[in-house]
Structure 1
């Protein structure tokens, strides 16, 4: 009887040690993924900040050539102003779908206004030949590409994180320790339908 009790104690101890080991591995893995998502969020914001910082130079360069395009310049300036307060926000926005959607909408509007500005510049051959404008246009194009890359990397990490915290038994520990689903960047609603082409 004494040996049965001792065996039961050893089995129970082994069970709790293995359970603790499993729990700590799952928890640590979730912490690492959570930090990776947060770090990648910072990279997305860095690129948005870079774009935000380029806009005044671009607008001022275009202003010198396209004086009567005031409406487009005003739209870009207004979109930049709207984005100004929300370029860098803490990562709690990643767990709030409405706040994340608002953030993404402001950034998308800024990108769209920049596209309109670049279309207007097609009407000014002397502007398109200006070295400063060409350099700024290249910087902006590179930044837009970086934004797309960082957003994709962010979405990839969010997918991995969300899948990890939803799988059993991780979901038990994720709920207990407060790990919550993160939001994805999504395509703009206009991108969901094909553009109408007329000849």
Structure 2
């Protein structure tokens, strides 16, 4: 074998190894990123279901005579605010801790307004006995639990992705392929608890 072939072969082997590493890194990062996108989509779907249910709840409660108008207005306003922060599921690279906090705060505001509404309803026996309201109450309870599960699974999807792109030596390639770490869903104090929609019917 000619001596000049040895460095050529060594360089070729090293280049092939780097290529395989880069391809493996990129493909794994893409797969993990898709898992994150799917998990975030489930979070948004859960919140959207709650927004839809609240719209039905407001319409049902509006039918009650002399119901506190200000309480309903607070829920409607909070629901509107909760839909303002938009996080594009197709471009989660733009998901910063600040944007996630803004989204979380808006949803927390809606949870608080909804809690106040359900507490006020305690003073309306006829409304509490309304079958439409009872069904919505059950669905809201279920949806709050679904939201909590979706947020947890989102964080679980973030963990392997962040580990993959932040650990050395993958972190050297992350910038080249535009893969950045993503923020975890950090719920505000008390926001991790489902809205209390249990009533004393006695």
Shorter-chain TM range is 0.7 to 0.9
> Which residue of 1 is the match for residue 116 of structure 2?
116
Cα gap change, 1:66/1:152 in structure 2, threshold over 3 Å: closer, same or farther? farther
Residue-pair matches, total: 190
> Which residue of 2 is the match for residue 43 of structure 1?
42
Segments of 4+ in structure 1 off by > 3 A? 91-94, 189-192
Cα gap change, 1:109/1:191 in structure 2, threshold over 3 Å: closer, same or farther? closer
> Which residue of 2 is the match for residue 143 of structure 1?
143
CA–CA distance in structure 1, aligned partners of residues 188 and 79 of structure 2: 18
Q: Which of 69, 87, 90 is matched with 1:89 structurally? A: 87
Report deviation, 1:187.
2.1
CA–CA distance in structure 2, aligned partners of residues 189 and 58 of structure 1: 26
Please say if 1:62 is aligned against 2:61: yes
Q: Tell me if the contact between 2:47 and 2:147 (Cα under 8 Å) persists in the aligned partners.
A: yes
More helix by share: 1
> Which residue of 2 is the match for residue 16 of structure 1?
15
Cα deviations across residues 149-188 of structure 1 (Å, max 9, x unaligned)?
1111101111221111110111011111111121211121
Q: Tell me if the contact between 1:95 and 1:180 (Cα under 8 Å) persists in the aligned partners.
A: no
Cα gap change, 1:144/1:66 in structure 2, threshold over 3 Å: closer, same or farther? farther
TM-score norm. by structure 2 comes to 0.86
* Structure 2 stretches lacking a partner, 5+ long: 193-202
Q: Which one is further off, 4-13 or 39-48? A: 4-13
CA–CA distance in structure 2, aligned partners of residues 133 and 68 of structure 1: 14
Q: Which one is further off, 53-62 or 4-13? A: 4-13
CA–CA distance in structure 1, aligned partners of residues 179 and 65 of structure 2: 51
Report deviation, 1:3.
2.7
> Which residue of 2 is the match for residue 129 of structure 1?
129
CA–CA distance in structure 1, aligned partners of residues 28 and 65 of structure 2: 54
Report deviation, 1:126.
2.4
CA–CA distance in structure 2, aligned partners of residues 67 and 159 of structure 1: 50
* Structure 1 stretches lacking a partner, 5+ long: 193-199
RMSD: 1.9
